[in-house]
């Protein structure tokens, strides 16, 4: 399963929820019907992974069902079997920020950059479209595959903020999220692919599982699960990310960027990653004070800053506040996450989690992840699942938002570098 706000997540009480969880719960009831002894019943285990790993992980035997509505393509059908009623066709539609008003046809996508889910059918179908553009002697589309830890909802959110200008999404997903993302435009007349179908995936030569799932599928009411229920039951009013590159926000960043660069270099961090954390913490407002007593841009407790491991007792000034926040983050990384089995990316994510929840809780999260047969050295789709189960969504969303802000900063920086070239 892919970890997302609609398909699979943990509530504040640590209970797994989501569209796919509901479907699997119903399936679990079906396969255990008539079995009275608890020890004889089949229990479904949810194994999170990234979208681009769904098929490889299935084929490696890490799970038995891909419980995500995956587009059925000829290339995928060579590798796996699909469980799908094919009752309704799905369109892959162009989605843009509302500021994009000059796209009237497929040809208008020539030379544009489109940001899409990594490993998705959107990539394959955009590549097919590029062949058509080539035949017309038009510039091809620049296809950018998103960070593998982003979901379609995340990319739609980035599009709503204006960070991403163009993306592709299944029509039913885009239309559900358009209800709460007011600044996206769905281009109904510009389908990247028409007539596709979606379904769950299983390994080939699994006749009994296929038969069982097909029986269940006939009982599941597609319209209910893919329509209003998904929105009404699983949408929770979140604070959507803002565009940190909007003019007003950009000016705030420019006021502090040299300090982020200075202390990031001193403690071996990416300055944009530190800026993203600061934006999540305070929206770069040094005057903020939390109800817990955390202060300044980096929202650090004065007691933490004064501790011998940081030793910067006065964090009232902007520079001292940034210095103390970066130094504390470095302390967390160097004290708790230097195991060679933890790559640099996960060092960063685990350090952010410890900054938010405290190192003791992250230690417990990693222990729980191991117990759940997840990788305690990997944050995304592993320790974050244990974190959600243990303490709820706050720390998961904290790290996830920083990643999105970091991607936003990085996208704009890369665009500016390309423009200079």
User: Where residue 177 sits, what CATH number does that domain have?
Assistant: 3.40.190.10
Task: Report the predicted TM-score, pTM, of the whole model to 2 decimal places.
Answer: 0.77
**Span 354-365, average pLDDT:** 97
Q: Give a yes or no: residue 335 inside a domain.
A: yes
pLDDT of residue 247: 80
Do 217 and 359 fall within a single domain?
no
Do 366 and 414 fall within a single domain?
yes
User: Where residue 363 sits, what CATH number does that domain have?
Assistant: 1.10.530.10
Q: Give a yes or no: residue 242 inside a domain.
A: no
Least confident of 212-216, 284-288, 366-370: 212-216
Number of domains in the chain: 3
Q: Which residue has the higher pLDDT, 45 or 315?
A: 315
Q: Which residue has the higher pLDDT, 415 or 394?
A: 394
Structure confidence by residue, pLDDT tens digits, 159-180: 998 999 999 999 888 888 888 8
Average pLDDT score, the chain? 89
Do 278 and 389 fall within a single domain?
yes
- pLDDT(241) > 70: no
Do 178 and 215 fall within a single domain?
no
pLDDT of residue 97: 96
**Span 86-109, average pLDDT:** 90
Do 114 and 48 fall within a single domain?
no
Q: Tell me the residue range of the domain where 218 lies.
A: 9-86+198-234
| Structural contact between residues 321 and 286, judged by C-beta atoms closer than 8 angstroms | yes
Do 316 and 209 fall within a single domain?
no
Do 221 and 80 fall within a single domain?
yes
Structure confidence by residue, pLDDT tens digits, 66-78: 998 888 989 999 9
pLDDT of residue 227: 44
**Span 342-348, average pLDDT:** 96
How much of the chain, in percent, has pLDDT values that exceed 70?
93
- pLDDT(320) > 60: yes
**Span 121-145, average pLDDT:** 96
184 vs 159: CA distance, rounded Å? 7
Do 305 and 212 fall within a single domain?
no
- pLDDT(230) > 50: yes
Q: Give a yes or no: residue 2 inside a domain.
A: no
Q: Give a yes or no: residue 240 inside a domain.
A: no
**Span 84-110, average pLDDT:** 89
Q: Give a yes or no: residue 384 inside a domain.
A: yes
Radius of gyration of the chain (CA): 23
Do 80 and 106 fall within a single domain?
no
Q: Give a yes or no: residue 162 inside a domain.
A: yes
- pLDDT(56) > 50: yes
Q: Which residue has the higher pLDDT, 181 or 13?
A: 181
- pLDDT(339) > 90: yes
Q: Give a yes or no: residue 322 inside a domain.
A: yes
Do 387 and 302 fall within a single domain?
yes
Provide the pLDDT confidence category of residue 198 given band limits of 50, 70 and 90: confident
pLDDT of residue 293: 93
- pLDDT(235) > 80: no
Do 136 and 214 fall within a single domain?
no
Do 35 and 104 fall within a single domain?
no
The total number of residues written for the chain in this structure: 421
Q: Give a yes or no: residue 1 inside a domain.
A: no
């Amino acid at each position: 399963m892919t970890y997302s706000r609609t398909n699979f997540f943990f509530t504040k009480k640590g209970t797994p929820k989501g569209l796919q969880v509901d479907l699997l719960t119903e399936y679990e009831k079906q396969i255990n019907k008539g079995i009275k002894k608890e020890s004889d019943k089949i229990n479904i285990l949810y194994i999170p992974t990234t979208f681009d790993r769904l098929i490889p992980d299935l084929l490696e035997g890490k799970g038995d069902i891909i419980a995500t509505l995956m587009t059925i393509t000829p290339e995928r059908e060579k590798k796996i079997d699909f469980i799908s009623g094919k009752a309704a066709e799905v369109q892959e539609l162009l989605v843009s920020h509302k500021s994009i008003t000059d796209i009237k046809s497929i040809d208008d996508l020539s030379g544009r950059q489109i940001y899409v889910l990594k490993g998705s059918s959107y990539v394959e179908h955009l590549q097919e479209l590029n062949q058509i553009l080539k035949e017309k002697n038009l510039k091809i589309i620049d296809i950018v595959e998103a960070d593998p830890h982003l979901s379609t909802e995340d990319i739609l959110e980035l599009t709503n903020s204006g960070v991403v200008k163009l993306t592709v999404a299944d029509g039913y997903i885009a239309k559900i999220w358009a209800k709460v993302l007011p600044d996206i435009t769905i281009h109904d007349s510009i389908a990247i692919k028409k007539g596709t179908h979606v379904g769950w995936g299983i390994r080939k030569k699994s006749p009994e599982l296929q038969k069982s799932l097909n029986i269940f599928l006939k009982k599941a009411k597609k319209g209910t699960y893919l329509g209003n229920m998904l929105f009404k039951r699983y949408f929770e009013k979140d604070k959507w990310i803002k565009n940190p590159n909007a003019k007003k926000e950009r000016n705030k960043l420019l006021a502090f960027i040299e300090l982020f660069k200075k202390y990031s270099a001193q403690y071996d961090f990416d300055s944009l990653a530190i800026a993203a954390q600061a934006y999540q913490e305070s929206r770069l407002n040094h005057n903020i004070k939390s109800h817990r007593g955390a202060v300044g841009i980096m929202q650090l407790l004065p007691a933490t800053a004064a501790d011998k491991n940081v030793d910067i007792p006065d964090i009232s000034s902007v520079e001292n506040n940034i210095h103390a926040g970066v130094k504390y983050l470095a302390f967390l990384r160097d004290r708790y996450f230097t195991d060679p089995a933890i790559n640099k990316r996960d060092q960063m994510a685990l350090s952010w989690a410890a900054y938010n929840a405290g190192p003791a809780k992250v230690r417990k999260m990693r222990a729980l992840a191991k117990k759940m047969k997840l990788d305690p050295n990997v944050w995304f789709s592993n320790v974050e699942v244990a974190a959600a189960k243990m303490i709820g969504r706050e720390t998961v969303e904290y790290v996830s938002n920083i990643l999105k802000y970091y991607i936003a900063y990085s996208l704009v920086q890369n665009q500016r570098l390309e423009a200079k070239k």
